[in-house]
Amino acid sequence: MERLGLGWETLRESNPRLVYGTVRGFGDPRSGASPYADWPAYDVVAQAMGGMMGITGPDRQTPMKIGPGVGDTIPALMLCIGILSAVHRVRETGKGQFVDVAMTDAVLAMCERIVYQTSYTGVVPGPEGNRHPLLCPFGLFRARDGYVSIAVANDPLWEKLAAAIGRPELGSDPAFATNAARVANTQQVIELLEGFTSVRTKDEIARVLGGKVPFGPVCTAAEIFADPHYAVREMLVDVDQPGSAQRVKIAGVPIKLSDTPGAVRCRAPMLGEHTDEILLANGYSRADIDRLRAAGAVR
């Protein structure tokens, strides 16, 4: 943008209310000149250098990327928060500002636990598999037809879980009654729980644990498509696909606003599909649009 003469310092001269946002792999030098400022970056680079891969994987020797492109999407969400905050301030003060997000910084912020763990204990966290280093049971457990997630973050929840699986005595057993004891006996806890879960299907486990403790099956895309939750929440939206008579599904809007609800109302446009409509709405004449198109300025 600087090369095109459209940098922050240039544009704010003509509009002091301007909010100007950037996302870069290692941030903008205006906010802190990273030694990696000129390195290109993608999702996997941000995941790797932001600490996420370092705590993900089946064992300490095998770091692993997260499936979705969180190194891209998390920085975008954080930029959105920053822009909205800056716009709110503009309305109060009339003064815009520069909003800067580094992809690596955003990922590190999501992995914040590794910072205080290392600082407080001096122990560098490694890949955790499907467990949690500080809570137990808190992770994935084998079912007969896949895996389920069970998250017991406190001792009362452990008592409820023990009762639900038909082992109420475990709730008061000194070897398991406190989180500290369960963490110390993690493997025993896993074996006890998987003795229950591994011989039952995800649906069977859901009928026992659903609504009692934090629980959820590990869902495939096909199971998500069949789940009534996503239908009633309008998270699977049918849109037209150009060149095909069959409609396709895309993800809906997860933020639900009561007065100004967002929604997916149409598919993404083809290149140039709405050029005339948008320019006419902004005061351009047909002759203006024809000239712009002939010059190659628009499609």
- Choosing from 28, 38, 59, 72, which is the catalytic residue? 72
Residues in the chain: 299
Whether residue 110 contacts residue 47, with contact meaning beta carbons closer than 8 Å, is answered with no
CA distance 103 to 109: 10
CA distance 138 to 121: 21
Whether residue 212 contacts residue 160, with contact meaning beta carbons closer than 8 Å, is answered with yes
> Which phi and psi angles does 182 have, rounded to 5°?
-70, -40
Q: Which two three-digit tokens encode residue 260? A: 């100004």
DSSP letters, 59-92, are STT-----SS-HHHHHHHHHHHHHHHHHHHHHHH
Q: Which two three-digit tokens encode residue 248? A: 């396709």
CA distance 208 to 203: 9
Classify the C-alpha dihedral 223-198-61-56 as positive or negative. Answer: positive
72 is catalytic: yes
How would you class 87 by CB atoms within 10 Å of its CB: exposed for 0-12, middle for 13-18, buried for 19 or more? Answer: middle
Instruction: Count CB neighbours of 62 within 10 A.
Output: 12
Q: Catalytic residue numbers? A: 72
